[in-house]
Structure 1
Amino acid sequence: MEENNRTDKDVLVKGLKQMGICLLLMFAGPTLLHLTLDNDDKPLYIPLLIISILLCIAAIAFLFIGINTILNSIFKRKK
């Protein structure tokens, strides 16, 4: 009986795409947060603050999801 422990390339590509989205969010979220906190007298202060915090949280979520997907592609066995 032969075990097939090779990396699932489709799942690996999916994980790398998620890490790419994470990278974009890691720059967009803090940049928008910094710009928002510098202009606290503007009328869109609260909505931009909420959006920037959500982008930062999404970056962290995509980081964990992407790493988990990459590890699943490497270590999971196909049945």
Structure 2
Amino acid sequence: METKRTDKDILVKGLKVMLGCLLCMFAGPFLLHTAFANNDKPLCIPLLILGGLLSIMAIFLLFKGINTIMKSLFGK
């Protein structure tokens, strides 16, 4: 009987997705805080939209990264 092994290529792909998630997790709230702190500046609305999109992207990348890592560990 052959033991199942971790697929390293898929694991590396999942870790890259998690790295992108980490970047979005810091950039999104930072931009949201900046937008809410500077209501009178002209870039308030674009920063608010960009921060919201990055925060949503962080959540999506988190689920996708965890799913990819699980596929590499346990197979399909």
Instruction: Give the alignment's TM-score, normalised by structure 2.
Output: 0.93
Q: Please say if residues 7 and 72 of structure 2, whose CA atoms lie closer than 8 Å, have aligned partners that are also in contact.
A: yes
Please, what is the CA RMSD of the aligned residues? Answer: 1.2
Q: Cα offset for 1:29?
A: 0.5
Letter in 1 for 2:62: L
Q: Cα offset for 1:44?
A: 1.4
Q: Hey, what does 1:61 align to over in structure 2?
A: 60
Larger radius of gyration: 1
- Calculate percent identity across the aligned residue pairs: 63
**Which 4+ stretches in 1 moved above 3 angstroms?**
none
Cα distance between partner residues in 2 of 1:4 and 1:15: 22
In the TM superposition, 1:43-62 aligns within 5 A as: 43-62=42-61
Instruction: Give the alignment's TM-score, normalised by structure 1.
Output: 0.90
**For this pair of structures, how many residues does the alignment match?**
76
Structure 1 unmatched ranges of 5 or more: none
Cα distance between partner residues in 2 of 1:9 and 1:49: 38
